[in-house]
Amino acid sequence: MLTLYIGNKNYSSWSMRPWVLLKQAGIPFEERMVRFDSFEGDSRFKNEVLKVSPAGRVPVLVDDGLAIWDSLAIAEYAAEKFPDRQLWPRDARARARARSVVAEMHSGFGALRSHCPMNIEASLPQVGAVVWRDQAGVRSDVQRIGEMWTGLLQEHGGPMLFGEFTIADAFYAPVCMRIRNYGLPVPGAVTDYIRRVCALPGVKAWIDDALVEHDFVAMDEPYRTSR
């Protein structure tokens, strides 16, 4: 049985990606949640995660004693271990494109990630309005994301970015959470895609779990002092 170590579902966007991927694809796994308290070397979080990963970060997938860390490495491992689940598109050109947009998410969009940290429980349109007004990098990130999604949906006919659900949709699911919860302005086609992603059973299950955590981690919420 695969074991996936994750952080708080309300906050941990990187944990959300492989969890949603495995859940939506119907791949059995055991979940181990390690609550965020601090990322300092002497924190409970660090001590727990370092037991399974030398990187000391989540997510971590453990398979028969083998630890795979980093969300993209986990996704690639799952795609190789479960080829029948078609986690990448079947067509070679579409597969290359999907890997490109996933890699772009993995290494890019720093302004959006920095100024709009994921918080599934919160409705933050006022924070989002200020960020949108003041942060040109966020506006640029969202414009690029909107153009990318619109183009892919038109090219492949939806409902997901490459027709059927793939790793690409799992990787952009936390971006959907950010755009939705901060009320960032996007075209109608993007809003519709976000709605469809949120309705996916794997994504809905993550959201439902996040909403019942009722935890407050101050370092993940720089815009308020309490819940």
pLDDT the model gives residue 49: 94
pLDDT the model gives residue 223: 81
Q: Does residue 55 share a domain with residue 18? A: yes
Q: Does residue 134 share a domain with residue 100? A: yes
For residues 101 and 146, the answer to whether their CB atoms sit within 8 Å is no
Confirm whether 224 is domain-assigned.
no
Q: Does residue 44 share a domain with residue 16? A: yes
Confirm whether 227 is domain-assigned.
no
pLDDT tens digits, one per residue of 171-188: 999 999 999 999 999 999
User: 37: pLDDT confidence band, cut at 50, 70 and 90?
Assistant: confident
User: 208: pLDDT confidence band, cut at 50, 70 and 90?
Assistant: very high
Of all residues in the chain, the percent with pLDDT exceeding 70 is: 100
Q: Does residue 97 share a domain with residue 77? A: no
pLDDT tens digits, one per residue of 104-151: 999 999 999 999 999 999 999 999 999 999 999 999 999 999 999 999
pLDDT the model gives residue 38: 77
- Residue span of the structural domain in which 96 resides: 92-209
Residue-averaged pLDDT of the chain: 96
pLDDT the model gives residue 196: 98
Cross-strand partners of 6: 33
Q: Does residue 118 share a domain with residue 101? A: yes
Residue 39 has pLDDT above 80, yes or no: no
pLDDT the model gives residue 222: 83
Q: Does residue 135 share a domain with residue 100? A: yes
What is the β-pairing status of strands 2-6 and 29-33?
Answer: parallel
Confirm whether 203 is domain-assigned.
yes
**C-alpha–C-alpha distance, residues 164 and 128, integer Å:** 31
Q: Does residue 24 share a domain with residue 123? A: no
Q: Does residue 110 share a domain with residue 80? A: no
Confirm whether 97 is domain-assigned.
yes
pLDDT tens digits, one per residue of 53-86: 999 999 999 999 999 999 999 999 999 999 999 9
pLDDT tens digits, one per residue of 13-29: 999 999 999 999 999 99
Of 199, 216, 226, residue with least CA distance to 11? 216
Confirm whether 125 is domain-assigned.
yes
Q: Does residue 186 share a domain with residue 144? A: yes
191 CB burial (10 A radius; 0-12, 13-18, 19+) = middle
Confirm whether 13 is domain-assigned.
yes
Confirm whether 46 is domain-assigned.
yes
For residues 120 and 9, the answer to whether their CB atoms sit within 8 Å is yes
**Region 196-211: what's the mean pLDDT?**
98
Q: Does residue 96 share a domain with residue 204? A: yes
